Structure 1
């Protein structure tokens, strides 16, 4: 886990540039000889180590096949399309003691084994010496190393090292997807590789990744990956401002090899968008050095040989005449010795001696030995001298010395060995330069993940421009007459990535030919690819016929570069061209044809018009873009005809060359072979998924049988079941347990069979469980249901009475309306007999007169009006609640009566789930009507207060209009304010008075204590809330008026 400070810096480092829904996670993968580590980069997960299923930060690089054994466990079951169980990591290594021939570990050295510096024989023989039980061989026809497994039929195609590596990669991929979360796919990856990997090893690794379903975005050398991790939180001197670059050497000593990578770190000011500049960090590999065989395994091998030597010196071994071959060719014994040797070496890094004990290393022979650090260092004297070689090579290639280094960054597990620490201190001469400022185990994988994020368009990271080196010299060779000519292209220090150069190579060939790319491995040249042209002959002929080129002027050029993906030389383009001044026929060039098609016109059409010249439409002839001749238009003379003829100019005519690329070196699998491997791996994955599902079903069935066995010990189930029912369960349980004890039958069973047996048991047991559960819960549910039914009945009675009152009030109102109309007619008749008004009298207050004249009739009309506050319910409300009540009550009455006739062991008809559903239906109706009542009452109370306030303020005409308008808006906002509580209660919202600290409103709660509020309680709360809201409004208006 990263320290908090570093984690915080990474969070600010990784910024998303596209929406989360479109983002894909990327992976950094460090595939070592002994362990595999991976780092995930995903939105919300910036640089996090992918944990194994055992929550470990690294996975042992091993995969094993666990054969399916017969019922007597004496033979292995095989068959067409049948796959064994697979194990990974420590689970795989744990099988070495029982089936060492089925465990495939430490596969990395076998990738591209035939074409390595150390040679095919050494690599494969070394692997056989460590794992003698494994059936491994190099098949030249297939171009790979293959493995035979006893878990498959003899006719099964052997498994290639790439397929086995793909299994390990796929396991890591699944762990990463689990960590990324459901629905997140992980496909894009950057892989770390040693700087000494050849083209064949890189291709083999890429093929393994492809078989695992990974898209390799790039390969990064171990040393550069560590450098990227070192640079991600640091800023280096800006060389654009006379800063001095830093030089650090990364020494990586792992399980299989030792590498030294010389790096230059510097800042640089470069052009940014527009007129701005920016400073970027650059990490550049200057040179590398390595020792392929100097690693932890080499030291472990020394300890293993020491164990064998000491074991053979025991008297009992001599008396039995046991030879070294009998031990070294025994897979079980060697796996134990290698495992103990690794443990002893690590122990000696911290302690001065270690004791190893082996019980029955051979039948009836135990072995115990002691190894001291002094003795171990004496055995490894030759290895100590080899530590300096890779460092010296890297420094010499860049013409630097130890004193020029700012530090030596240590990486890998082997650097913790005491004699190596002392050797490094002696080499550097300044112990302060030996730095452990990166995670010695995880720095490389973090750097790979950082590069993956930089290559992905989904992330924006700190801009670090990195550059690797080729590692090996490369070039091309081709036939030149009777001899073969060679041309070097790139040196071991040629840059890959940022700063890489593209080289143009000229050939004299004028007809189709082929040439070869090679990589110089040691003193030998190993072919990489063959390039064959397919249209060179035709292109040269076209240049001669169409453009009048002379044969001597024709030039053939190919552009080559080091691929940014794998660092191997590749051809990116090719062209044949000539420099000519010949006049071409008026047939028009390809360029003019394209211009005319796109609407740009020909060269003549694009010339500016002369003074007084009009643009005339009409057909024109196509001309070559490089031609200086003119064309005429129909009906008028050409503008260029009057111009002075110009001398032909030199121009370059170019035609692209088509070519094919054929891989050389180890044979590469065909498309059909690749499809076969992917299909077989997919079938293996499907078999694993089916096995896991079957095992889960078996575990569930086994656990349920134990539960049912204990089920009969509970006397509570006796009252809800009959003897016959319990006997049926006992019989089926006994049959199921007997079947499960038959290993052969269980081994042949499928997931479907296991689920059917589980379903059979549940079909008999679950009804008994349900009856007990219903019997225990029903009394409480019935009590609560009856209470809700009573409340519904009370509310229904209230609604019924109010509907009745509404009908009565409407009748009375009709009578008042009738009497008011008669009185108005009589008043109008008497008014017509009144004398005319004297116009010379004093002015009359029209408003007062109007009020006085209208108030008597209005008072008589409204004196007996019903109060609408008490009439919120309608006949439709009564129909709604009555219908629901009658329906639920009828159902309950019938079900309760039916339930009363049933015995405890019979299935119930009055279920608690149905009671809950019916009760919820009643509660919904009551809440709906109470909410309507509150809303209506609040609105009416607010209207009454606004009316009273308006009458009061009408005495001040200058303010009445503004105040009325303001209060009307405020009243509308408050009149309908209600809230629903978590328990389903309906309450009005708090008023402003409550918010300001005054006495809050009276809340009405329905549902919390299952008590229905009475009508008087509702109206009282409405009046109190309305009075407080009115005070708040008046206070607010007063304050507004004062302002």
Structure 2
């Protein structure tokens, strides 16, 4: 026992000395929007950089499409949607945490013809059905996050110790409930990353706005209007500088407080696109009948055209819409004016002011207290909405409209900053964010017979979202053995706990412990991402019991600790015999404390290091004991993924990643085989000098036949060949080049040997002449000049012989002949 304790202590001590500080990891911020998605990266050597797409765009379409086994992302997925609408899943953010029968699913089906939604097992959530399989919505989102993670990792410096991304911060609308938020967290877990924080869109923009500005100790109130593709939110935020420790040498920090939030979940760019789509569809059916309604491809094209028309009308008063072979080889052409568009959305315009009114009411403020309205989201560019904002919200004061942030990138930058702050892996500007809960979380309790026994608030509206986890006492009748707990978020039912054998669990804790203050509690949590969760129901009480200590073990352990401490200080410890003798002598001559003189007391205290500690019994300390209560969970609506479902999705995602990796490797080798075969044809066709010097005509013709055969094989079978076969073909083509290279090296070595022999013979002859007739004269540049000249000569020859095939082919070409492009040498 003593040796084990000693070993553990020494191990811990050495670990503290030797273990290096953990490497700083990279953090990826993701602005996951209904229409487009952006990402930003922070890592050692990378400071808040936008993650670019494969085609160097700073944002991309939100979506995934399948082309056989190949996955397409962003604009590539949107491009394939008109041709394969059943396998292209775009703009699906509103479906997270919702069922197939929900209003959100109905709206989505109307806006995305051809997509087949199906229930996701028994979870009452959405899956996307393809001809071959079905994919839960969390899995589709996980693929998108994984793709962004890959793009971000490609940006990491090669010299950095950080090569992977493990942490992400993702934006969410303020109205997303716990089920929707958990769906995003599940998707991130499937993608192999951890969510450090889900950041409210308005909070992200506020952080970005404040990060480059200074404020004073007086509160400034600003509205952040975020009108995106799917929804509209108005976030009332205050900025205030807080000075700690005096104005001269104190530390200052910026406080950002969310004072109120209002939102409209359906008011966004998609709704405007739908109105233009209805106008275009009505005109086509009026002229050509309603047969187009049976063609998902044609309807998808019409939706895409409606989005284009809306964008152009933001800057022009009219736009020409023209589509060739829209349906049944019918070309469609019409003109849409801004006035017609505004007439089609007249019923939508009054809804713009409602989010502002709700936020002001929550904060008990007036619009006159607001300094500015910061515009975010693409829909704020629609002229009619800006007019309504000034007229109905700002009472005609257009000076309060602020366009001082990048409407496309402010949210992703702020979310990334928030992720960095929460993770505490980087030093950032001191910004404190207070984002209180906009909803109340409570529980309704009823007995086994369904009789209502009471309702309790677990987290009231306005609770600070800082990772709260607490044990809330549950008020139920003392003799109740069965109970139903219905947990609610803003009055909406989340799930129900059915408690069983309450009295049995109570008896267990009472029999095993001498309890005081026995209570039944709910273990509830409201995370920093504003996810509400319940970890169980349990009995708990305080127990007072003295701790038992083995004096001998304690003494020997303390002795060992002292020796280790002395060892690291560089001091020598006394021998065991001397220590024991001293200890025994001290113990024998020790007198009661009350009879010792002052000097004796000092002497006794000085010698305590050589004494063995005496057996002591620490005072009794209360400890908390808990006894869980048996329960079963019943979900009232959509349910998040379980461990088995997530494991299955992870495995399928890794399988798709492997297919992508193999396909990219095959494509790379296939391209190498093709380009190399064409180069062989060029080298032989233009009689490359190096090739002609080191090969025979028969060898060149054999080489050419192999290249021609490789091209023919590539077009006939190469598309379906596995990687090993392609690499084998490339190796076969390279064999002849290796022979040519070997012959060239042999010739170079022979020339170099001849030059060395000639130089040696010349030096010997000159030395003989000087010794026989003339005085030896050393050149001004030193005796090495001759060797240097020989070396330079050899190097020049080597350089000439090492010219590329392309250079010699160009040199041998006739005057006026077009130069061939440069190629890699064989």
TM-score range, shorter chain: 0.7 to 0.9
Q: 1:1011 to 1:753 in 2, by over 3 A?
A: closer
Equivalent residue number for residue 912 of structure 1: none
| Superposed CA offset, 1:718-775 (max 9, x none) | 4543333233223323332332332xx2332112112222222222355346646876
Equivalent residue number for residue 60 of structure 1: 61
Q: Can you give the 5+ residue segments of structure 2 that lack an aligned partner in the other structure?
A: 1-18, 559-591, 605-610, 772-779, 792-826
Equivalent residue number for residue 999 of structure 1: none
Q: 1:56 to 1:721 in 2, by over 3 A?
A: same
Equivalents in 2 of 1:364, 1:223: separation in Å?
47
| Superposed CA offset, 1:317-374 (max 9, x none) | 1xxxx32xx3244221122112111111111111111111011111231111111111
Deviation at 1:187, TM superposition (A): 1.3
Q: 1:596 to 1:367 in 2, by over 3 A?
A: farther
Equivalent residue number for residue 297 of structure 1: 270
Match of 2:297 among 303, 315, 332: 332
User: Is 1:266 aligned to residue 240 of structure 2?
Assistant: yes
Give SS of 1:231's match. Answer: helix
1:6-25 superposed matches below 5 A: 22-25=23-26
Match of 2:280 among 307, 317, 333: 307
Q: 1:494 to 1:662 in 2, by over 3 A?
A: farther
The answer (yes or no) to whether the contact 1:496–1:567 under 8 Å persists in 2 is no
Give SS of 2:252's match. Answer: strand
The answer (yes or no) to whether the contact 1:470–1:567 under 8 Å persists in 2 is no
1:341-380 superposed matches below 5 A: 341-380=306-345
| Superposed CA offset, 1:473-523 (max 9, x none) | 21112235752321123344332129x7967435356688766462335xx
Equivalents in 2 of 1:794, 1:456: separation in Å?
79
Give TM-score, length-normalised by structure 2.
0.77
| Superposed CA offset, 1:569-601 (max 9, x none) | 55699763479xxxx9xxxx2445599986799
Moved more, 455-464 or 57-66: 455-464
Equivalent residue number for residue 381 of structure 1: 346
Equivalents in 1 of 2:195, 2:399: separation in Å?
38
Equivalent residue number for residue 222 of structure 2: 248
Give SS of 1:337's match. Answer: helix
Q: Which structure is richer in relative contact order (CA contacts within 8 A, separation 6 or more)?
A: 2
Equivalent residue number for residue 430 of structure 2: 463
Give SS of 2:465's match. Answer: strand
User: Is 1:757 aligned to residue 729 of structure 2?
Assistant: yes
Deviation at 1:85, TM superposition (A): 1.3
The answer (yes or no) to whether the contact 2:36–2:61 under 8 Å persists in 1 is yes
User: Is 1:190 aligned to residue 190 of structure 2?
Assistant: no
Deviation at 1:378, TM superposition (A): 0.9
Deviation at 1:246, TM superposition (A): 1.3
Equivalent residue number for residue 88 of structure 1: 73
Q: Can you give the 5+ residue segments of structure 1 that lack an aligned partner in the other structure?
A: 1-17, 68-83, 239-243, 602-608, 627-651, 801-1001, 1014-1043
Equivalent residue number for residue 725 of structure 1: 699
Deviation at 1:279, TM superposition (A): 2.0
Equivalents in 2 of 1:672, 1:653: separation in Å?
37
Equivalents in 1 of 2:55, 2:630: separation in Å?
48
Equivalents in 1 of 2:757, 2:347: separation in Å?
93
Match of 1:734 among 698, 703, 708: 708
Equivalents in 2 of 1:411, 1:690: separation in Å?
41
Deviation at 1:565, TM superposition (A): 3.4
Equivalent residue number for residue 3 of structure 2: none
Give SS of 1:470's match. Answer: coil
Equivalent residue number for residue 451 of structure 1: 418
The answer (yes or no) to whether the contact 1:110–1:124 under 8 Å persists in 2 is yes
Deviation at 1:529, TM superposition (A): 6.7
1:786-825 superposed matches below 5 A: 786=757, 789=760
Equivalents in 1 of 2:642, 2:721: separation in Å?
39
Match of 2:653 among 671, 675, 681: 681
Equivalent residue number for residue 583 of structure 2: none
1:839-858 superposed matches below 5 A: none
1:861-872 superposed matches below 5 A: none
Deviation at 1:793, TM superposition (A): 6.7
1:19-168 superposed matches below 5 A: 22-67=23-68, 84-114=69-99, 120-139=101-120, 141-150=122-131, 152=132, 156=133, 158-168=134-144
Give TM-score, length-normalised by structure 1.
0.62
The answer (yes or no) to whether the contact 2:522–2:534 under 8 Å persists in 1 is no
Residues matched between the structures, number = 708
Equivalents in 1 of 2:381, 2:108: separation in Å?
25
Deviation at 1:232, TM superposition (A): 1.3
| Superposed CA offset, 1:17-74 (max 9, x none) | x99982211111111111111110112221111111111111211211112xxxxxxx
Equivalents in 2 of 1:410, 1:687: separation in Å?
43
Deviation at 1:141, TM superposition (A): 0.9
Q: Give the number of the structure whose alpha-carbon radius of gyration is greater.
A: 1
1:847-926 superposed matches below 5 A: none
Equivalent residue number for residue 153 of structure 2: 177
Equivalents in 1 of 2:786, 2:529: separation in Å?
68
Q: 1:431 to 1:189 in 2, by over 3 A?
A: same
Equivalents in 2 of 1:778, 1:542: separation in Å?
90
Q: 1:675 to 1:126 in 2, by over 3 A?
A: same
User: Is 1:520 aligned to residue 489 of structure 2?
Assistant: yes
Equivalent residue number for residue 869 of structure 1: none
Equivalents in 2 of 1:749, 1:528: separation in Å?
52
Q: 1:300 to 1:542 in 2, by over 3 A?
A: closer
The answer (yes or no) to whether the contact 1:33–1:106 under 8 Å persists in 2 is yes
Equivalents in 2 of 1:796, 1:697: separation in Å?
59
Give SS of 2:455's match. Answer: strand
1:332-731 superposed matches below 5 A: 332-426=297-391, 427-429=393-395, 430-480=397-447, 482=449, 483-484=451-452, 485-497=454-466, 504-507=472-475, 516=485, 518-521=487-490, 524-528=491-495, 530=497, 547=514, 554-558=518-522, 560-568=524-532, 570=534, 576-577=540-541, 589-591=545-547, 611-612=594-595, 625=620, 654-658=624-628, 664=635, 665-715=637-687, 716=689, 717-718=691-692, 720-731=694-705
Equivalents in 2 of 1:567, 1:686: separation in Å?
33
| Superposed CA offset, 1:159-213 (max 9, x none) | 1111111111111000000011346111101111000101111111111111111
Equivalents in 2 of 1:795, 1:662: separation in Å?
105
The answer (yes or no) to whether the contact 2:116–2:130 under 8 Å persists in 1 is yes
Moved more, 475-484 or 789-798: 789-798
Give SS of 2:171's match. Answer: strand
Q: 1:310 to 1:541 in 2, by over 3 A?
A: closer
Equivalents in 2 of 1:471, 1:556: separation in Å?
28
Equivalents in 1 of 2:360, 2:447: separation in Å?
38
Equivalents in 2 of 1:23, 1:736: separation in Å?
49
Give SS of 2:163's match. Answer: coil
Equivalents in 2 of 1:423, 1:1005: separation in Å?
92
Q: 1:572 to 1:277 in 2, by over 3 A?
A: farther
Equivalent residue number for residue 1010 of structure 1: 788
The answer (yes or no) to whether the contact 1:543–1:578 under 8 Å persists in 2 is no
Moved more, 56-65 or 747-756: 747-756
Deviation at 1:784, TM superposition (A): 5.2
